[in-house]
Amino acid sequence: MGSSFGQLFRITTWGESHGGGVGVVIDGCPPRIELSEEDIQRDLDRRRPGQSKIVTPRDEADRCRILSGVFEGCTLGTPISILVMNKDARPEAYSEMKATYRPSHADFTYEAKYGIRNWQGGGRASARETVGRVAAGAVAKKVLSKLSPRPLEIVAYVTQIQEVSARIDRSSVRTEDVERNAVRCPDEAAAELMTALIQSVRDEGDSLGGVIECVIRGVPPGLGEPVFDKLEADLAKAMLSLPASKGFEIGSGFAATRMKGSEHNDPFEVRDGKVRTTTNNSGGVQGGISNGEDIFFRVAFKPTSTIARDQKTVTASHEETTLAARGRHDPCVLPRAVPIVEAMAALVLCDHALRQKAISDFGK
Amino acid sequence: MGSSFGQLFRITTWGESHGGGVGVVIDGCPPRIELSEEDIQRDLDRRRPGQSKIVTPRDEADRCRILSGVFEGCTLGTPISILVMNKDARPEAYSEMKATYRPSHADFTYEAKYGIRNWQGGGRASARETVGRVAAGAVAKKVLSKLSPRPLEIVAYVTQIQEVSARIDRSSVRTEDVERNAVRCPDEAAAELMTALIQSVRDEGDSLGGVIECVIRGVPPGLGEPVFDKLEADLAKAMLSLPASKGFEIGSGFAATRMKGSEHNDPFEVRDGKVRTTTNNSGGVQGGISNGEDIFFRVAFKPTSTIARDQKTVTASHEETTLAARGRHDPCVLPRAVPIVEAMAALVLCDHALRQKAISDFGK
Amino acid sequence: MGSSFGQLFRITTWGESHGGGVGVVIDGCPPRIELSEEDIQRDLDRRRPGQSKIVTPRDEADRCRILSGVFEGCTLGTPISILVMNKDARPEAYSEMKATYRPSHADFTYEAKYGIRNWQGGGRASARETVGRVAAGAVAKKVLSKLSPRPLEIVAYVTQIQEVSARIDRSSVRTEDVERNAVRCPDEAAAELMTALIQSVRDEGDSLGGVIECVIRGVPPGLGEPVFDKLEADLAKAMLSLPASKGFEIGSGFAATRMKGSEHNDPFEVRDGKVRTTTNNSGGVQGGISNGEDIFFRVAFKPTSTIARDQKTVTASHEETTLAARGRHDPCVLPRAVPIVEAMAALVLCDHALRQKAISDFGK
Amino acid sequence: MGSSFGQLFRITTWGESHGGGVGVVIDGCPPRIELSEEDIQRDLDRRRPGQSKIVTPRDEADRCRILSGVFEGCTLGTPISILVMNKDARPEAYSEMKATYRPSHADFTYEAKYGIRNWQGGGRASARETVGRVAAGAVAKKVLSKLSPRPLEIVAYVTQIQEVSARIDRSSVRTEDVERNAVRCPDEAAAELMTALIQSVRDEGDSLGGVIECVIRGVPPGLGEPVFDKLEADLAKAMLSLPASKGFEIGSGFAATRMKGSEHNDPFEVRDGKVRTTTNNSGGVQGGISNGEDIFFRVAFKPTSTIARDQKTVTASHEETTLAARGRHDPCVLPRAVPIVEAMAALVLCDHALRQKAISDFGK
């Protein structure tokens, strides 16, 4: 269990990195939304390996196929099944992993949990599983564009790689700014430093982590379900369910812990005839419900566990050994994680938009 | 929707701060666990108002009553309904809130979402709702003590208030160390500074935030359900569902973003005949599944929104006004949030322990 | 687990027949619906014991109390907790049941499942649990009256007791016809026979079963979620979850098995500008989705298991013995089951109405 | 929504009759169960079209492919994705259906619900969707064979076609008896009459319904979750979710309504050292929980809606017209529904077996 996400817009991903393929079934997608394989492919292409010099060279075209739920270009309201076959799988590259636990990977824990694991390339724990998330996220965006009274924009970007931090105007940054470079950091100067850093660390056989920030503009007030399914709670779960993520903060986040209430509180004012806040330390969510301001949050990613250096570890039979990665891998997951963060954000918002739709406009 | 948490050990909380009462129904509690009202009261007493000089003076004994699911001192396997009546409710103290939105509270967003709100003391958004969580958490701990092969300890504590940080040995800190002072920080020197700081800021009519850390010892390897219900994902959701929380990090957390893979990876070794990690940057979870090491995470809490100072805000009819809190409140939520963090951690673990129990020991 | 019902309008019942009380928490009720304790009490009074000569004399006023979720006469959108305390519990009347399994009761199976049971009066398996269902059903009806474009009527009635069958015009029968007599059969002549039969069989220390039919008028086309949550599937589950029910059929039901397709199919026609069916063997549901015609179904109830005659049975220690009921009980559950069937039907419809609301009006 | 079934052994089916294919994702399957495509194919072959003279001639090999969740012949504990491509789809045969509603089909209701439908061959409402159920049921049987302390047998069979009823010894009938003839009725004399009847009615361009009975032997006491997820409630939902089903009864069923309590109650006795019932009117379930006796139930199926005769109906633009089926179809669904009923029963039992496993063996 645990491969489904969402209450009303509910996705179920499946697939291992080495096996028939990976995919997703979306149940609860509203009918009569225009949807084509191209809509999905666009986001998959941003996630796929081999797209630039700083990501893994694994060669997967990741062509998606919609097998159900769409008819004559529109959603039917029935489950949408999306399939991506695995192509460039080289299980032989992973033969050492059969008996040896890679440090900070999930080999040992999958073995402990299930008593069995697909040792070829990470199996279900591989980031390849996120193909299904990105595909579903693309559908969620289409639904949101129908549901939302004003344009809803979800823009994620790399804001920090190791010690290199970017300066980004959160209120205006757009997807085209992000896509301008391979590292997906809209501060060009920082992006160049980051790229150089990633290449240099890769050449050392090492890896890097960093921070992705995501801003969402145009969310109407009222999304989020107290008390457990608060919007930030579901976003936090979504982000911590991503491979390699170690932290989440919304709005002021950990910085809030050093402020006083009089500094942190967001005064209300009336702007353009609407109730707005003067500042936005809340990050667009108050009491678990969107307040109409920009929602923004940050996700911490650890350095990729797969490194080309010798590391101490043990075998399944408890013998000490050393291991150096041979499979293809990313020296830094963040550039490819950007569309994944956006996809998860879209899934959370779409689900909450439908949940709110179910109970709104009563009692008038 | 949104008032239930957990898949197999499933709780549903209900209640507003001013109304009949607050409570919880627990469905899925295994049978034949010894359980008394005293087991629950112990944790409720750690959460209740009025317990020390640095928390709200609201006078609520918070006596719980078990209405079902327990017979002759043991759980029946049927739903456990726990009720705490509201006593010291003074709705008149909140009359101003009827028309005016308190900054950084949920007044505006509840109105936006539901078109109606109980304006007396925060209603459902009040931290009083967490009474049900703490009660259920106490039951979860009893279940875990039966399920776990070795003693399972969940210890949360305040590790930072504004600029005051504590030094705490995470591997050895125990509940009695935490309970030694009102601020629930086991570093006595830091605790004194924190207490003085809270009192001084309260006297200024202001409020403070900080960080709570939680360590869990004795969790067997194998808990957590990839890919969405990873242990850290469910912990993140649990913590971000708490009032005033703004961030979550597990293990190395945000600090991981500045490390290289070769520094961050936790080598495996064999210790006492078991596969263990030499370091624990993973925070006890790898690939979403517990690895048997201590689980630890931190939660960021913002400064209490309720402050006694004049703040700019608007009324429901869009007039600008100023507001100063008059209701009783905590100048800093962290001391009372400690048992709440523990309760949510216990709920997550109990749910995952039952989920794992359902699928384990196959194929032997 | 298993004490919750519904996806969006989700209820959780709790309570044993002898213990603190019984109740329900409703999560997902839309906001701004007028609701009072009287709205709920009305249906509880139809269900409560002691209301006529042909039901159990247990004296329970069954006064409900709303503890949360309602403010100034309207729902808040937050969980509604409804409590009914147990009053006339006489556990001593059940002391024999401590060690002896009553035939066709749940004593043995609860023991087998949980290894423990509340042996006082049936515990959780008591029909007293349905108090929470009826209370929640009353709320569901209020929501449906807001949601439905035309008046939605749910009318259940007894149509058969043992060999006595009633003749009832399904298309016109109304609640006031049903409530005219204690047996809740709107065919007065049949009702008199049924009443006499129940009294005579009760005097023999025996019990009776029968059939309840329910008709629902005014359901718009479009409710029901293929493929597993078809409207008839959720109705069937709802009805088979009732104590003593043994069968369910919708529309033509088991009689359909003797018809040819050319006889059974419901031709479409246009009536009053709407697509209608000429006949209604489908019972208002086609492909799991309501088609706008009257929905009707029948539920089979077995004779009450509790009888005053000596019966062979065994003790928990496997000794053969005989047992005759001493607790108060109904010689025939059907009269009191009528409001329970209506409540369950209302819960199913309300849930599906909200589910449909979430996905409708797209793509226009 | 509505395409998922089960709480712990949770399946999600997808697919339309004419489109890429049909399939299922199983989440929650325990690890280390031996599983091959052949295990699944065996049951699919019993369901597939074209297998005999009395079923539809649509030519679908229905070869399944396992795309994930199985490694080296064993389940991994991760989601199992099973795919069957559509082959012999002839959408042109259905062109009339584009504008015309087939009587007693789901064309009108899908249009009413979704505002769009795949008019080719029934789309999602086609019985072709049950391919996924049968595939998942085959996996459920494998899990049950591991879980169950004694052999668990699920045997369904046709017991009535229109007026022809079979005589079958429920306690001893086995799958090989059922598979001996094309109609899947283990009473050979009745089977011959049924076959002749189906052929004759098909030649008239008409169709037939009937009753399938299912007996389950070897279920241990304790499965079923009061109060809503009673075993019979989940079985009823499972069966009423099948295309063309109109009724469900368990044990004595509707016949119970004519019995007295003294006739209907099942006395307990001790047999072979176990608590057993002398009779089995309960059908193996008491209070929603299995009692260790054989579980048996019956499902009513209406005559196939697709008939070759002219029928009155209307078009989407509200014009009256007549329609005669041209697509290939079954004159009687029951022979092919037998493995589907078994599959749904296996899914219910497997889910409940895992749910019980999660809470059992406590308090020892």
CATH number of the domain enclosing A35 = 3.60.150.10
**D95 Cβ partners below 8 Å, 6+ apart?**
none
* Residue B311 domain-assigned (yes or no): yes
- Round to whole Å and give the CA distance between C30 and A361: 9
Which regions of D16-144 does DSSP assign to beta strands (E)?
A: 21-27, 64-66, 70-71, 74-75, 80-85
**C8 → closest Cβ in B1, B3, B83:** B1
* B102–chain D nearest CA distance, Å: 38
**C271 Cβ partners below 8 Å, 6+ apart?**
none
- Round to whole Å and give the CA distance between B129 and D145: 45
**A362 → closest Cβ in C30, C226, C363:** C30
Q: How many residues are present in chain B?
A: 364
Residue range C123-169, pLDDT digits in tens: 999 999 999 999 999 999 999 999 887 889 999 999 999 999 999 99
pLDDT of the residue at C364: 40
Pick left, alpha or beta for residue D190 (phi over 0 → left; psi -120 to 50 → alpha; otherwise beta). Answer: alpha
The verdict on D359 touching B (C-beta cutoff 8 Å) is yes
* Residue B364 domain-assigned (yes or no): no
The verdict on B26 touching D (C-beta cutoff 8 Å) is no
Residue range D97-140, pLDDT digits in tens: 888 999 999 999 999 999 999 988 789 999 999 999 999 999 99
DSSP tally for chain A: helices H, then strands E: 8, 18
Q: State the count of interchain CB pairs (< 8 A) between A and B.
A: 381
ipTM above 0.90, yes or no: yes
- Round to whole Å and give the CA distance between D269 and D274: 8
pLDDT of the residue at A361: 80
Which regions of chain A does DSSP assign to beta strands (E)?
A: 4-5, 10-15, 21-27, 64-68, 70-71, 74-75, 80-85, 153-161, 164-165, 210-217, 245-250, 268-271, 274-277, 285-286, 289-290, 295-301, 311-314, 320-323
Q: Per the CB < 8 Å rule, is B68 touching C116? A: no
The one-digit pLDDT tens for each residue of chain A (364 residues) are 999 999 999 999 999 998 899 999 999 999 999 999 999 999 999 999 888 888 887 778 899 999 999 999 999 999 999 999 988 766 666 777 888 999 999 999 999 999 999 988 789 999 999 999 999 999 999 999 998 888 899 999 999 999 999 999 999 999 999 999 999 999 999 999 999 999 999 999 999 999 999 999 999 999 999 999 999 999 999 999 999 999 999 999 999 999 999 999 999 999 999 999 999 999 999 999 999 999 999 999 999 999 999 999 999 999 999 998 766 788 999 999 999 999 999 999 999 999 999 999 875 4
The verdict on A32 touching C (C-beta cutoff 8 Å) is yes
Q: Is residue D52 within 8 Å of D336, Cβ to Cβ? A: no
What average pLDDT score do residues C72-94 get? 88
* Residue D165 domain-assigned (yes or no): yes
Q: Per the CB < 8 Å rule, is B21 touching C124? A: no
The verdict on C91 touching A (C-beta cutoff 8 Å) is no
DSSP B122-145: TGGGSGGGHHHHHHHHHHHHHHHH
Q: Per the CB < 8 Å rule, is B104 touching A282? A: yes
* Residue A72 domain-assigned (yes or no): yes
Both structure tokens of B334: 């962290």
The verdict on A117 touching D (C-beta cutoff 8 Å) is yes
The SS3 of residue C4 is strand
Residue with tokens 């069954």: C62
Q: Is residue C291 within 8 Å of C276, Cβ to Cβ? A: no
Parallel/antiparallel/unpaired status of strands C311-314 and D210-217:
unpaired
The verdict on A30 touching C (C-beta cutoff 8 Å) is yes
- Taking CB atoms within 8 Å and a gap of at least 24, the contacts of A49-53 are A49/A328, A49/A330, A49/A336, A51/A182, A51/A336, A52/A182, A52/A335, A53/A182, A53/A199
To the nearest whole percent, how much of chain C has pLDDT over 90? 86
The verdict on B132 touching A (C-beta cutoff 8 Å) is no
Q: How far is CA B240 from CA A238, A292, B183, D321, in A?
A: 12, 19, 21, 59
Q: Per the CB < 8 Å rule, is B261 touching A306? A: yes
* C271–chain A nearest CA distance, Å: 27
Q: Per the CB < 8 Å rule, is A76 touching D114? A: yes
The SS3 of residue D74 is strand
pLDDT of the residue at C359: 95
Cα-to-chain-centroid distance, residue B224: 19
pLDDT of the residue at D56: 82
* C363–chain A nearest CA distance, Å: 5
The verdict on D1 touching A (C-beta cutoff 8 Å) is yes
Parallel/antiparallel/unpaired status of strands C285-286 and C274-277:
unpaired
Residue range C271-294, pLDDT digits in tens: 999 999 999 999 999 999 999 999
The verdict on D106 touching C (C-beta cutoff 8 Å) is yes
The verdict on D52 touching A (C-beta cutoff 8 Å) is no
Q: Per the CB < 8 Å rule, is A359 touching C78? A: no
Comparing alpha-carbon positions, the chain C residue that sits nearest to A147 is C362
Which value, to the nearest 10 degrees, does the dihedral of the CA atoms of residues C225, C227, C231, C233 take? -140
Q: State the count of interchain CB pairs (< 8 A) between A and C.
A: 57
Name the phi and psi angles at D136, rounded to 5.
Answer: -65, -35
Is the pLDDT at D358 greater than 60, yes or no? yes
Q: Per the CB < 8 Å rule, is C14 touching B25? A: yes
Q: Which residues of A touch B13 (CB under 8 A)?
A: 227
Residue with tokens 């869990």: B216
Comparing alpha-carbon positions, the chain B residue that sits nearest to C81 is B14
Both structure tokens of C22: 């019984």
The verdict on D103 touching C (C-beta cutoff 8 Å) is yes
**C359 → closest Cβ in A7, A354, A360:** A354
Mutate to test the interface with B, among D4, D76, D359, D360 (most CBs of B within 10 A): D359
Q: Which amino acid is at A78?
A: T
To the nearest whole percent, how much of chain D has pLDDT over 90? 86
- Average per-residue pLDDT for chain D: 94
- Round to whole Å and give the CA distance between A95 and A295: 45
* C173–chain B nearest CA distance, Å: 35
Taking every pair of Cα atoms in chain D, the longest distance, rounded to a whole number of angstroms, is: 70
The verdict on D76 touching B (C-beta cutoff 8 Å) is no
Residue B227: asked if its preceding bond is cis (omega within 30°), the reply is: yes
* B249–chain A nearest CA distance, Å: 4
Hey, which residues does A323 pair with through a beta bridge? A311
Both structure tokens of B356: 């794992």
DSSP tally for chain D: helices H, then strands E: 8, 18
Neighbouring chains of C at 3+ CB pairs within 8 Å?
A, B, D
Q: Per the CB < 8 Å rule, is C354 touching A354? A: no
Closest CA to D309 of C260, C256, C269, C257: C260
Q: Per the CB < 8 Å rule, is D123 touching A71? A: yes
Q: Is residue B221 within 8 Å of A112, Cβ to Cβ? A: yes
The one-digit pLDDT tens for each residue of chain B (364 residues) are 999 999 999 999 999 998 899 999 999 999 999 999 999 999 999 999 888 888 888 778 899 999 999 999 999 999 999 999 988 766 666 777 888 999 999 999 999 999 999 988 789 999 999 999 999 999 999 999 998 878 899 999 999 999 999 999 999 999 999 999 999 999 999 999 999 999 999 999 999 999 999 999 999 999 999 999 999 999 999 999 999 999 999 999 999 999 999 999 999 999 999 999 999 999 999 999 999 999 999 999 999 999 999 999 999 999 999 998 766 788 999 999 999 999 999 999 999 999 999 999 875 4
Q: Is residue B135 within 8 Å of B84, Cβ to Cβ? A: yes
Residue A194 DSSP symbol: H
* D340–chain A nearest CA distance, Å: 20
Both structure tokens of D226: 């009061």
Mutate to test the interface with D, among B1, B359, B364 (most CBs of D within 10 A): B359
The verdict on A348 touching B (C-beta cutoff 8 Å) is no
Hey, which residues does A322 pair with through a beta bridge? A312
Neighbouring chains of D at 3+ CB pairs within 8 Å?
A, B, C
pLDDT of the residue at C91: 67
Lowest mean pLDDT among B115-129, C24-38, C250-264, D216-230: B115-129
pLDDT of the residue at B89: 65
Backbone CA torsion sign across C45, C50, C52, C55:
positive
* Residue C345 domain-assigned (yes or no): yes
Residue range A150-184, pLDDT digits in tens: 889 999 999 999 999 999 999 999 999 999 999 99
Q: Per the CB < 8 Å rule, is C362 touching A226? A: no
**D207 → closest Cβ in C110, C260, C362:** C260
* Residue D364 domain-assigned (yes or no): no
Q: Per the CB < 8 Å rule, is D240 touching C262? A: no
Q: Which residues of A touch B124 (CB under 8 A)?
A: 226-227
Taking every pair of Cα atoms in chain A, the longest distance, rounded to a whole number of angstroms, is: 70
Q: Per the CB < 8 Å rule, is D357 touching B354? A: no
Q: How far is CA D149 from CA D50, D145, D172, D218, D219, in A?
A: 37, 8, 20, 8, 9
Backbone CA torsion sign across B309, B310, B313, B316:
positive
Comparing alpha-carbon positions, the chain D residue that sits nearest to A80 is D14
Structurally, chain C folds into a number of domains equal to 1
Q: Per the CB < 8 Å rule, is A124 touching D78? A: yes
Q: Is residue B297 within 8 Å of B281, Cβ to Cβ? A: no
Q: Could you tell me the residue range of the domain that residue B76 belongs to? A: 4-359
* Residue A364 domain-assigned (yes or no): no
Comparing alpha-carbon positions, the chain B residue that sits nearest to C79 is B14
**D18 Cβ partners below 8 Å, 6+ apart?**
D86, D89, D91, D94, D118, D120, D121, D123
Hey, which residues does A13 pair with through a beta bridge? A24
Both structure tokens of C318: 């496997």
Which value, to the nearest 10 degrees, does the dihedral of the CA atoms of residues D215, C288, D6, B30 take? -90
pLDDT of the residue at D191: 98
Backbone CA torsion sign across A342, A352, C81, C134:
negative
* Residue A105 domain-assigned (yes or no): yes
Q: Per the CB < 8 Å rule, is A359 touching C359? A: no
The verdict on D74 touching B (C-beta cutoff 8 Å) is yes
Both structure tokens of B316: 């429901």
Q: Is residue D158 within 8 Å of D184, Cβ to Cβ? A: yes
